[in-house]
């Protein structure tokens, strides 16, 4: 080691650590303040009260060790340290310390701007919830709740009861049960009704939903034998009728959430299949996936089969997600015949898949909003975003454009353009919603190589990272999901984007 450091321990010595570069004949001496002086400095007090003594001390030790190393390297190279060696003041050190502690204590789960154009984005947490749900969750976090305790009788209750009446009213189902997500709902339903027996599914409906959820795999895990019928593009009622036998436990229809089969196609509707199910006394289950509780056409959106329609058409059980079109928290809802729901609730797996109080706290007020369907587009965040007219987003784009252009400088070319959003999460996969937003391209003569890659990284490095979509040599920022109250925060951090 050619450099000489005195006071190897950061808190050794009353005045601190001196570092002299041995390679430097004029021995530029630099100085780090002693630990106890740093810790007792007024500038450090907020850190000690905010992060505690142990954590602050450990971070300070690490920082001083790093600074000492930097200084040694610079001194040995005969240069002067970047932080003007010899003049590293205590406030400068606590400022660095504050930055590091803040970063280390940042939640790993962070808000982002979803400008991807996909409203219900699974990787970004799907539905955003309305304030009524946010408040209910905050209260449930702070208070013991009557989760499984009947206030009227003072006896033990059932957590499903908290939302059952409302869901029955909204779907026409006799009974419901709630689990952690729709994948769990399908698993629990199959495990209860078809374990060791057969479930008949059309070859056109053997869906894979992203991640690892595939109907054939989930069936296998549930112990059910998959009996495929029909062909990829066409399945007829007689295919189901021919396959049904004494081993058949279930007829299952699955919503083609993320694809469409077009052309020479035929699938059997629930209403067509229901009489066969009745006649053979085999339950008919429908995995609706998204499943909505209202006719979306009344809001100018494409029609998506509702849970009520599916039950009215003769489904014995319907499964759907809480955080897709419904606009609530992550959960899976199984609605249908009381006797089948009772069997499902007795399955020990239900206990493993049940939801917690936060989910139910959020779900109940969201469901209550559906009692006023006329007010739903104002009140239900998901529906508000889905029904925003493109003109709104165009006005926003025009307001933001000059600010973004200024932040990005001459290497980029920002324009406002029409684009299309998608609902996402397997709801109405082929229906696109007219939208508007900003596109960013590398300007002619841009000095940045891989300009879009650089831009994407810069957007991700912002305090609230921005998620866009790269296509056709441009970054597309769809403004549909940029609420008025989020717009200010979006603009406020543009400054940090400037290089
Ligand atoms: C989304 C979806 C699922 C899975 O639901 P999660 O809530 O993501 O678990 C299952 N089936 C269909 C048809 C879906 O669209």
In tens, the pLDDT along 405-418 reads 999 999 999 999 99
User: To test the ligand 1 pocket, which listed residue (123, 181, 185, 209) has its Cβ within 8 A of the most ligand atoms?
Assistant: 209
Ligand 1 atom closest to 185 (CA): 9
Bridge partner residues of 390 (DSSP): none
Ligand 1 centroid to residue 183 C-alpha, Å:
6
> CA-based angle 327:333:334, to the nearest 5?
150
Helix (H, G, I), strand (E, B) or coil at 320: strand
Residue nearest to atom 14 of ligand 1 (CA): 289
Ligand 1 atom closest to 323 (CA): 7
Residue nearest to atom 7 of ligand 1 (CA): 182
> What pLDDT score was predicted for residue 44?
97
Ligand 1 centroid to residue 57 C-alpha, Å:
48
Distance, in Å, from the CA atom of 87 to the CA atom of 32, rounded to the nearest integer, reads 8
Distance, in Å, from the CA atom of 275 to the CA atom of 284, rounded to the nearest integer, reads 10
Ligand 1 atom closest to 331 (CA): 7
Residue nearest to atom 15 of ligand 1 (CA): 289
Residue nearest to atom 3 of ligand 1 (CA): 289
Residue nearest to atom 1 of ligand 1 (CA): 289
Helix (H, G, I), strand (E, B) or coil at 83: coil
> What pLDDT score was predicted for residue 471?
94
> What pLDDT score was predicted for residue 428?
61
What are the two backbone dihedrals, phi and then psi, of residue 407, each rounded to the nearest 5 degrees? -65, -35
DSSP 425: T
Q: Are 164 and 298 in contact (CB under 8 A)?
A: no
Ligand 1 centroid to residue 162 C-alpha, Å:
23
Ligand 1 atom closest to 426 (CA): 15
Indicate the domain borders of the chain: 17-104, 113-121+385-497, 131-379
Please provide the distance, in angstroms rounded to a whole number, between the alpha carbons at the two ends of the chain: 39
Ligand 1 atom closest to 256 (CA): 13
User: To test the ligand 1 pocket, which listed residue (121, 213, 319, 328) has its Cβ within 8 A of the most ligand atoms?
Assistant: 213
Neighbour-count burial of 327, counting CB atoms closer than 10 A to its CB (0-12 exposed, 13-18 middle, 19+ buried): buried
> CA-based angle 97:98:99, to the nearest 5?
90
Ligand 1 centroid to residue 467 C-alpha, Å:
23
What are the two backbone dihedrals, phi and then psi, of residue 151, each rounded to the nearest 5 degrees? -65, -35
Report the CATH fold assignment for 131-379.
Answer: 3.40.640
Instruction: Say if domain 113-121+385-497 classifies as CATH 3.90.1150.110.
Output: yes
CA dist 397 to 291, 292, 452, 491, Å?
Answer: 32, 31, 19, 11
Ligand 1 centroid to residue 328 C-alpha, Å:
14
The two tokens of residue 176 are 């419901």
Distance, in Å, from the CA atom of 323 to the CA atom of 332, rounded to the nearest integer, reads 9
> What pLDDT score was predicted for residue 343?
98
> What pLDDT score was predicted for residue 257?
74
Ligand 1 centroid to residue 457 C-alpha, Å:
31
Distance, in Å, from the CA atom of 116 to the CA atom of 113, rounded to the nearest integer, reads 9
Ligand 1 centroid to residue 486 C-alpha, Å:
29
Distance, in Å, from the CA atom of 129 to the CA atom of 378, rounded to the nearest integer, reads 12
Residue nearest to atom 12 of ligand 1 (CA): 289
Taking the complete model, does pTM exceed 0.85, yes or no? Answer: yes
Residues of the chain with pLDDT under 70: 1-30, 79-87, 426-430, 499
Ligand 1 centroid to residue 182 C-alpha, Å:
5
Q: Are strands 4-5 and 317-321 parallel, antiparallel or unpaired?
A: unpaired
Q: Which residues line ligand 1 (CB under 6 A)?
A: 181-183, 186, 207, 209, 213, 254-255, 257, 287, 289-290, 321, 332, 425-426
Q: Which residues of 135-169 are buried (b: 16+ CB within 10 A; e: fewer)?
A: ebbeebeeeebeeeeeeeeeeebebbebbbebbee
CA dist 320 to 224, 277, 290, 347, Å?
Answer: 20, 21, 6, 19
Q: Which residues of 281-290 are buried (b: 16+ CB within 10 A; e: fewer)?
A: ebbbbbbbbb
Residue nearest to atom 2 of ligand 1 (CA): 289
Q: Are 318 and 334 in contact (CB under 8 A)?
A: yes
> What pLDDT score was predicted for residue 191?
97
In tens, the pLDDT along 291-304 reads 899 999 999 998 89
């Amino acid at each position: 080691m050619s450099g000489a450091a005195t006071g190897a321990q950061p808190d050794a010595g009353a005045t601190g650590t001196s570092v002299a570069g041995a390679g430097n004949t004029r021995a530029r001496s630099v100085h780090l303040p002693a630990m106890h002086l740093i810790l007792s400095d007024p500038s450090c007090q907020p850190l000690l009260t905010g992060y505690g003594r142990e954590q602050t001390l450990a971070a300070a030790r690490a920082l001083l060790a790093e600074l000492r190393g930097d200084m040694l390297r610079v001194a040995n190279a005969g240069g002067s340290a970047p932080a003007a060696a010899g003049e590293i003041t205590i406030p400068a050190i606590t400022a660095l310390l504050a930055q590091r502690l803040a970063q280390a204590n940042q939640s790993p789960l962070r808000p982002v701007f979803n400008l991807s154009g996909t409203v219900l984005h699974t990787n970004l947490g799907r539905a955003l919830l309305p304030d009524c749900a946010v408040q209910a969750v905050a209260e449930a976090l702070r208070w013991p709740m009557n989760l499984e305790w009947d206030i009227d009788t003072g006896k033990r209750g059932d957590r499903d009861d908290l939302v059952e009446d409302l869901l029955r009213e909204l779907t026409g189902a006799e009974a419901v049960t709630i689990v952690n997500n729709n994948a769990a709902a399908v698993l629990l339903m199959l495990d209860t009704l078809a374990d060791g027996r057969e479930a008949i599914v059309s070859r056109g409906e053997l869906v894979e939903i992203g991640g690892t959820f595939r109907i054939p795999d989930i069936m296998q895990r549930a112990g059910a034998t998959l009996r495929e019928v029909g062909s990829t593009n066409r399945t007829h009622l007689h295919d189901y009728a021919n396959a049904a036998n004494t081993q058949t436990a279930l007829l299952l229809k699955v919503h083609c959430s993320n694809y469409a089969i077009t052309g020479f196609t035929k699938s059997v509707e629930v209403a067509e299949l229901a009489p066969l199910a009745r006649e053979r006394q085999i339950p008919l289950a429908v995995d609706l996936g998204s499943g909505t509780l209202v006719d979306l056409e009344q809001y100018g959106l494409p029609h998506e089969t509702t849970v009520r329609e599916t039950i009215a058409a003769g489904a014995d059980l319907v499964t759907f997600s809480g955080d897709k079109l419904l606009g609530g928290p992550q959960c899976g809802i199984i609605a249908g015949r009381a006797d089948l729901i009772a069997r499902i609730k007795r399955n020990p797996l239900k206990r493993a898949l049940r939801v917690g109080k936060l989910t139910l706290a959020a779900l109940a007020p969201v469901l209550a909003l559906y009692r006023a369907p006329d007010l739903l587009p104002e009140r239900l965040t998901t529906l508000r975003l889905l029904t925003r007219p493109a003109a709104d987003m165009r006005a926003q784009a025009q307001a933001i454009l000059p600010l973004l252009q200024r932040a990005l400088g001459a290497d980029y070319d920002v324009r406002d353009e029409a684009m299309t959003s998608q609902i996402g999460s397997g709801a109405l996969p082929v229906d696109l919603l007219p939208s508007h937003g900003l596109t960013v391209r590398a300007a002619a003569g841009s000095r940045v190589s891989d300009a879009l890659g650089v831009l994407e990284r810069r957007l991700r490095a912002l305090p609230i990272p921005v998620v866009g979509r790269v296509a056709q040599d441009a970054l597309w920022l769809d403004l549909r999901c940029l609420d008025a109250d989020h717009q200010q925060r979006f603009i406020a951090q543009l400054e940090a984007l400037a290089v």
